[in-house]
Every structure is written in structure tokens, then in C-alpha cells.
Structure 1
Amino acid sequence: MPFDSLGLIPALVQAAAQSGYAAPTAIQAAAIPAILQGRDVRGSAQTGSGKTAAFSLPLLQRLGAERAQGSSRRVRALVLVPTRELAAQVGETMRSLAQHLPERLKIVVAFGGVSINPQMMGLRGGADIVVATPGRLLDLVEHNALKLDAVSMLVLDEADRLFDLGFAEELGRILALLPKQRQNLLFSATFPSAIQALADGMLHDPAVVDVQGEPGTEPNIVQRVIEVDAARRTQLLRHLLKQHENEWDRVLVFVATQHAAQIVAEKLYKNGIYAVPFHGDIAQGTRTDILSQFKQSRWDVVIATDLAARGIDIAQLPVVINYDLPRSPTDYIHRIGRTGRAGESGLAISFVSASTEAHFRLIEKRQGLSLPRERVEGFEPTEVAVPVVDASGTGGIKGKRPSKKDKLRAAAALAAARGDAPEKND
């Protein structure tokens, strides 16, 4: 199926081809016609399946047509994302796709961690599209740098994360500022059942596009599990990196904390492996440089927290290693999805110790997996698991049963999405 059969104009068909899409992916083929028709969409597909282009191409076409009719330059499309890196990436993709449009669209990217002044300057004279993280967007609104009363298209990219506890309050405030009549586009690799109910609450007669598990849509990722004592994970990691140094030109390693990222990176670096930490306490400019250099293979290994689990697109990344297991099955999917993108093959390795074996079995259960356990010679585990009784019945998996506070915040976001949130007193 060619792109021009989806209703896209020649300029965007050309842009898609130049971006490396020989034909629409499954999510693009299903979502683009629905968005062009003005329908709300909830789209779910594996990481690396082209979700950004799936909403960007029809959004650009609709806004380009409005500009051709002489519409004023007010923010008409808002794209919300959970991380700074994803904001930059989405903005870059949209600008690339828009470069051949007959009408020039102004796209502004805004996120925290850097000075707000250049972003305020960028919004002078208006903008057609704003790609932003929630916190910085609210800062810009409070500085009177932009208004959201003309937004006709709202995109939540990594929507499940934006509905999660950390963003629920900010999302609710933003939704209350938007016109009630608008097109809502929600995209993510995963929509857990609790989040799906919230998402559906803000959609009107949506086109539900779920290409998970369709033939040809599953990423080609080999998943391995290696048993190792917790205290020997760094040694095993160093051993694997040395053993495969001619095969793995870049490796992304996930750890649980910022402190672990620093410690593991330092130990590897001292042993001759070009490794660098990547986490939220690192300045935004430095984080941007690290990613750019990693994509150019100037770093061998990046030791990252879950900050890097979503939205970061590193072409042909061969290996992802879970040094620490993620807290939830959803995060596991997002982590390993950094490899095996856009039709490439990839490898995902998880280190499992006696104390984390039960947790990994729960991850397997939730994801429908059953992976053989491996041992590496010289690193055979000696620890024995101690049975742990989980009184909650959730297996320690984050998000299985939301707390009362979680429910209240989620309800506030849902109320705002429906347009019945109380007015804010100045």
C-alpha cells in the first residue's frame, strides 16, 4: 500500500519517502486516514513502528491546508510528551516532514532543564504547532508566552506515561485550558487497562488502532535471561562487553537509580570501556550531547535510568541490557524496545539474581513470556532465593493497584478531559 493511497498530498508522500518509509507501517496505514477524517484516535503499536509519523503526517496536512486558507498563526496543534529527549525528537521529525509543504508551518519545541527565555522568544509572532513537556508548557502559559484557546488538535505521545501519577495533575491543568471541541490523538506502545479507561474518557467515538501482535509487526528482538549474583553484575557486564566488543558497537544498559548509573559507568570507564551515565540530574545540554555522541558511536556504553526507556530512537542499536530489572512489565517493554527498531534485529539481556527471580517471573507472566535461564561460565550464581510473601497480591509490580491518592489524581485528570473540571480562581 503506497502513502498516496492514504490521502496524503504529494509533498508529504515525498517527505515520508525521504524519511526512509518505502511503504506505510501498520500503525500509519490505519491511523492516517482516520486522522485526516478528523476522528479521535487511540493508537497502540510496538516501539519503532512509526507512531510519530503516523500522527505527524496527517496533522501537518490539515494545518497546512488551514494556513493556505489564511488562518492566523495561533497554536492549533499541541503535542505533549513526557520527556525532554522525546520532545526534541518529535520536533525534529515534524520539521523534517514539513519542509516540503507549500505553506510554511512554525513548529516550536519547549521543555525544561534549559532557559525558558529562548523558548519564549521562539513563540513571538505565534506558532502553528507546539511540542512540549507538561511542566514547561504550563510555565510558558503562566509567562503569557502562548495561549491554548485555539488548539484544535491535541496529541498525547507516550500517552500511558502522561496519564500516570507523575503527570496527572499537570495534564489535568492543561486539558482545562484547551477548547472542549478538539481532535484528540493518543499514541503509545502500551495502554494498561487502568490507563486505557482514563484515555477513553477523553475520546469521542475514537478509531481504535491496535496493531500489537499482528503478523509482521512484532519487533525482531531476541530476549535472554542470565542468572548472576547481584554483587557480580558489574563484573559480568564488563565480561560480556569485552567478549562482544567486535559485535556490539553500542550498548544501552538500564539501571534502577541515578547513583547506580554513576557508579557502574565509572567502574566500566576505569576498566577501559568508554561508558557514560545518563539520568535526570545531568544537565539537559549534556544529556543532548551524550545522545548525539552515542548515535555516532562515540560512546560504547550508556548507563541509563528509565529516563531513556521511552521515545529515544537510536538507529541500529544492537543491544539493551537490564542490569536492574524494571519496576513494571510495561517498563520492560519500553526498555527493550530501544533495540530492534524499524525492522532491524536486536538483543535484550536481563540479569536476574536470586532476589529478583520472582519479580522477573511476574514480568514474564504479564507479557506472556517464558524465557530459559542461562549461566555464564565463571559467573554462576551462589545465592539462594528467600521466599517473600506479598500481602498486596500484586507481586510488587508497580501500578497493579493504584492507591487512593493515585485514584483521586487520575479522576481529576479525567474530569478535566471531559470538560467538567472546576474553573481556576485567579
Structure 2
Amino acid sequence: MSSESPRPTFTELGVAVEITDALAALGITHTFAIQEYTLPIALDGHDLIGQARTGMGKTYGFGVPLLDRVFDSADVAEIDGTPRALVIVPTRELAVQVGNDLERAATNLPLKIFTFYGGTPYEEQIDALKVGVDIVVGTPGRLLDLYKRGALQLDQVAILVLDEADEMLDLGFLPDIEKLMSALTHKHQTMLFSATMPGPILTLARSFLHKPVHIRAETADSAATHKTTRQVVFQAHQMDKEAITARILQAKNRGKTIIFARTKRTAAQVAEDLAARGFSVGSVHGDMGQPAREKSLNAFRSGKIDILVATDVAARGIDIDDVTHVINFQTPDDPMTYVHRIGRTGRAGHDGIAVTLVGYDEVLKWSAIDNELELGQPNPPQWFSTSPELYEALDIPEGASERVGPAQKVLGGSIPRSNPRRSRDRS
């Protein structure tokens, strides 16, 4: 943001100079709306509910006051190696992202931050807790396991954060969260952040938060999707979707792109097809181990690859601001999945394009999404990989072909084997 921004700076809101200096080194000086509204309340130690869509700056909305209070607040005990703050997030990927963001903002602070999640050995995590951790970031299942083992102490936690609470509800983590929250029987501050506020999350807030201030960084009637995201929707024949996708990937000014598929098998197949056409592509799906997932995500973040094919569960928590395009290779199952998918682009003020390929057998599913979100596109047109309308809508050069170079290898693994015992393919 420029110095002429109407939003106040972190300095003007009273954030410690050690933190504002670290943020300034990252090019961050002015707040986003959710940060402007939450910081004064959070810095005073009040409970709050922060409601804003993904990509609106929630991490520093809670992360900056959390760091400030743990570092230098009279009502938070001096750090001694037992956790003073606990941040609970729904997925491994988001845990890593939040942990990294907090580390960057805490560069000038004497605080130890550690990220805990499943799929990795316990030993390293238990050893870290023995040495001392001031701020814990983690997923519900692993945090609860560590607490039950006696490795994670919660009796000195002064600040509790629940991030993406609605996602944790969707993933079935609510019982684990309630157990963790019930373990904090002493006085503490709780901040709950969520894009939506379904009934069970409201009940959770009423049960565990003390007179919370409810902050919305948007008006009550604002759209569910970012205004900075242009949505292009059309019907596509199943046999033509890969050729269409190959042409979309040659659009002018296309940068990092996430392609969503409903199933692991489709995600892997699409990735292999695009790699065979010469594209630099990685895959993230549930059959991959954590090291392989992180390798793909890190390559995508760094720009080593600029296309990531992902399933919905695997992609939750991918928090990258410079994604220019999202492609729904398959129509999502429900409106909120659509919102979360296309929320990966058009983030933090950037422009983005979300393309949805509606299969002929997916028209009813799309109509339900369109009706719920009031998108005004109940009957999308039928386009093919050769349709002039496709080229015009997405600024694809006339010479775009189905292949851009020699075949490449997919970063992230091959097609997973089908398992006849499993009736659902969700991750």
C-alpha cells in the first residue's frame, strides 16, 4: 500500500517498534481492514470474533497483537519456555504458513515459535517442547495428542487463537477443539476467526469466549467472493476439458495458477496430462506424504513451478497472494467450496481470474451454486477449446496450441492406485 492509504499504519495503532520494523522490512506498513479493526481490541486483551473472507489479512490481524502481548504485556507472564500463545488451524499447510508469517513478524523478538502437525514423527516435536516454545501453532489432532501425552502444557497459555474455524468444523475437528479449549480453565484471551459463522461455531463462541467483540471487515450484504476476482463460467465437454485448460494456461499475463479437481485421481491425471503437454506443474493430493506435499507447495511459492493441481482438502490453507488464475476443472460440490477455491486468487488487493469448467453432467450442481451465491450465471454458455469466445474472454493468443514444449515430470507424484475398499475419494 502507498503512504497515501487511508488505512492506519501498524505504528499508529500502537504496535511495538520491534514488530513494525520487521513488518516494514517485508514491505508491510499499512493495515488491511480486518487488521485495523481487530488490533485495538486485541492489544487490550479482549476476546473477539473476526469475520472476513480468506485473503483479507487475518493472519496478522491476530498474529501482530499476539506477538506484541506475549513480548510485552503486563497481564501475560514472562516467557519461561512454556507456551504463552496457542494458535489452532485446520490443516498442515495453513499451520506452516501461519508459523512462517509469525516468524517473519517476530524476527526482532526473543520468542520461540514452533509449528505442530500430524504426518510427522512425534519425537522432534516433543523435544522442541522440552527445550521451550513460547508460541505454539498447530492442527487440532496433533495438539490434542501432545497434550494428552503430557508434552504440551496449556496452563500458562494467555492467548488462544482459532483460525478458519468454519474449515475446522467442515473437517470434523470440532470435538478436538472443544477438548483443547476446555483444558484452558484459567483466565485467557480468545480470538476466533472465521469466513462464515455457522451455528456450531456460534455455539462454540458463546460457550468459550467472554463478551467477545464481533468484527466484520465487510458489510453484511457484501458478496461472498472477492470483487477483485473476475469469474468466467462456461459448459465444457468432459473430453475437451484438458485441451481447454492447456489453452487457458497460455493466457496473457497468467502467473501462478491453481487447478482444482474433486478427487485425488482426477488431480493426478490432470497434472500428468499437463506435464505431458510441456507445462511446469506440481500436484497436491491426499495420497502424498507430507514431505512431498511440502516440496510441491514450496516449489509453487518460490516460482519453480507455476501450476499446482490440487484437491479441495489438500489445498485448504494455501495462502499465496500472487495467484493470478484459479481453474475449477470440476465444478465444486457446494457453494462454500466454490468460495474457498476461488478465494485463492484476487487476494490482498490483487486482481484475479477464476474459471469454472462446468461439465454437461454438472449443470444442476452449478445452478445450485449460482443460485446460492447470486452470481447471475444460471445457464453458462457452451464453449470448446477452439471457441473464439474462450480466447476472447481469457485473453488467449490466437496461436495457442495444446502443447507448449517437451514432456516434463510432475512434481508431487504419480496417479494414486484406486482402493476398492474406499467408497469416498475426498482428499
TM-score between the two structures when normalised by the length of structure 2: 0.82
CA deviation map 1:183-232 (0-9, x unaligned): 11111223335533443433221111111348999441101102112343
Rounded to whole Å, the distance in 2 between the matches of 1:378 and 1:314 is 29
Give RMSD over aligned pairs. Answer: 2.4
1:167 alignment counterpart: 173
Pairwise CA distance, 1:87? 0.6
1:30 alignment counterpart: 37
CA deviation map 1:300-350 (0-9, x unaligned): 321100135432122311100111122221221111111111211110011
1:288 alignment counterpart: 294
State the identity as a percent: 38
* Aligned partner of residue 353 in structure 2, secondary structure: strand
**Superposed, which structure 2 residues align to 1:228-247 within 5 Å?**
228-241=236-249, 243-244=250-251, 247=253
Pairwise CA distance, 1:69? 6.7
Q: Structure 1 residues 213 and 368, CA, compared in 2 at 3 Å: closer, same or farther?
A: farther
Q: Structure 1 residues 123 and 194, CA, compared in 2 at 3 Å: closer, same or farther?
A: closer
Pairwise CA distance, 1:143? 3.2
* Aligned partner of residue 85 in structure 1, secondary structure: helix
In the alignment, which of 29, 54, 64 is matched to residue 61 of structure 2? 54
1:185 aligns with 2:191: yes
Rounded to whole Å, the distance in 1 between the matches of 2:131 and 2:333 is 44
| Counterpart residue identity of residue 137, structure 1 | L
Q: Structure 1 residues 213 and 337, CA, compared in 2 at 3 Å: closer, same or farther?
A: farther
CA deviation map 1:224-254 (0-9, x unaligned): 102112343223212322x42x532332100
2:130 alignment counterpart: 124
Rounded to whole Å, the distance in 2 between the matches of 1:163 and 1:373 is 32
* Aligned partner of residue 145 in structure 1, secondary structure: coil
Q: Which moved more, 1:168-177 or 1:370-379?
A: 370-379
In the alignment, which of 324, 338, 345 is matched to residue 344 of structure 2? 338
Rounded to whole Å, the distance in 2 between the matches of 1:355 and 1:258 is 19
CA deviation map 1:109-155 (0-9, x unaligned): 11111222111111123321100111111222233322112222110
Does the Cα contact within 8 Å between 1:255 and 1:323 map onto a contact in 2? yes
Structure 2: 5+ residue runs without aligned partners?
Answer: 1-7, 388-427
| Counterpart residue identity of residue 356, structure 1 | E
1:366 alignment counterpart: 372
Matched residues, number: 376
Q: Structure 1 residues 17 and 190, CA, compared in 2 at 3 Å: closer, same or farther?
A: farther
Rounded to whole Å, the distance in 2 between the matches of 1:377 and 1:327 is 23
* Aligned partner of residue 151 in structure 1, secondary structure: coil
1:138 aligns with 2:137: no
Does the Cα contact within 8 Å between 1:79 and 1:157 map onto a contact in 2? yes
1:278 alignment counterpart: 284
Rounded to whole Å, the distance in 1 between the matches of 2:375 and 2:125 is 45
| Counterpart residue identity of residue 13, structure 1 | T
Rounded to whole Å, the distance in 1 between the matches of 2:136 and 2:122 is 14
1:386 alignment counterpart: none
CA deviation map 1:136-175 (0-9, x unaligned): 1122223332211222211011111223352122222222
1:74 aligns with 2:82: yes
1:222 aligns with 2:230: yes
Pairwise CA distance, 1:34? 0.7
Segments of 4+ moved more than 4 angstroms: 66-69, 213-219, 377-380
Rounded to whole Å, the distance in 2 between the matches of 1:232 and 1:156 is 42
**Superposed, which structure 2 residues align to 1:239-388 within 5 Å?**
239-241=247-249, 243-244=250-251, 247-371=253-377, 373-378=380-385
| Counterpart residue identity of residue 68, structure 2 | Q
1:151 aligns with 2:157: yes
| Counterpart residue identity of residue 123, structure 1 | L
* Aligned partner of residue 323 in structure 2, secondary structure: coil
Does the Cα contact within 8 Å between 1:156 and 1:162 map onto a contact in 2? no
In the alignment, which of 27, 44, 48 is matched to residue 41 of structure 1? 48
Rounded to whole Å, the distance in 2 between the matches of 1:355 and 1:271 is 26
